[in-house]
Structure 1
Amino acid sequence: MEERREAERRRGEEMRPPPPEWLLQHGLHRTNVDAVHTGECWAAAKSRRRRPVTRQQAIEALRQQVPACVHRRPDTTLGILD
């Protein structure tokens, strides 16, 4: 029984999609974007109001003055600095 559970756990981990590289965090209304995060950001992981985006979408959001997360600095990673 224990071996079966372990095999199922491993299979689940293998089938899990990779985390997104970039995330947008939105406010209470989905059209209000609050921040751009990297996919591994712990602050974004806590939020339920986030969605994965492409690299280009993250760049565009930063160019439109959406704040970059202060913890992982996606603006620096993407090469977009003030």
Structure 2
Amino acid sequence: MVEQQAAASLQQLDRWIADEERRETERRQREERQPSPPEWLLERGLNKSNVVAVHTGACWDTGKRHVPVSREQARNALCQRVPACSRCRPDTALGFLD
């Protein structure tokens, strides 16, 4: 009787370990499929032709209306007096001095 209970517990533990390993593999695969975040972002206003801020790609305060851009596009926007985000400071990251 005790041997049967131990065998059942061992089987349950083996199933649990296999499930956890499967979940971990799936999580890693999801992470690998995620595209890398853009390095620079432009935040657009309600009028899509209006650019309201330049952000780094890692900024947490980009709002909902942002588009990924190249380093050169971000630099050009700052040269055209588009404000830099005060939280992520892309102007500092791009080498602009106030």
**TM-score, normalising length from structure 1?**
0.88
> How many residues get paired?
80
CA offset at residue 63 of structure 1? Answer: 0.4
**TM-score, normalising length from structure 2?**
0.75
Q: Which is bigger in relative contact order (C-alpha 8 A, separation at least 6)?
A: 1
Q: For structure 1, which runs of at least 5 residues remain unmatched after alignment?
A: none
Alignment partner of 1:37 is 2:55: yes
CA offset at residue 78 of structure 1? Answer: 0.6
User: Match for residue 8 of structure 1?
Assistant: 26
Alpha-carbon RMSD across the aligned residues, in angstroms, is 1.2
CA offset at residue 22 of structure 1? Answer: 0.4
Larger helix fraction of residues: 2
Q: Segments of 4+ in structure 1 off by > 4 A?
A: none
Q: Percent identity?
A: 61
CA offset at residue 5 of structure 1? Answer: 2.8
AA of the residue aligned to 1:16: Q
1:57 to 61, 73, 85: 73
Q: For structure 2, which runs of at least 5 residues remain unmatched after alignment?
A: 1-18
Q: Which has the larger radius of gyration?
A: 2
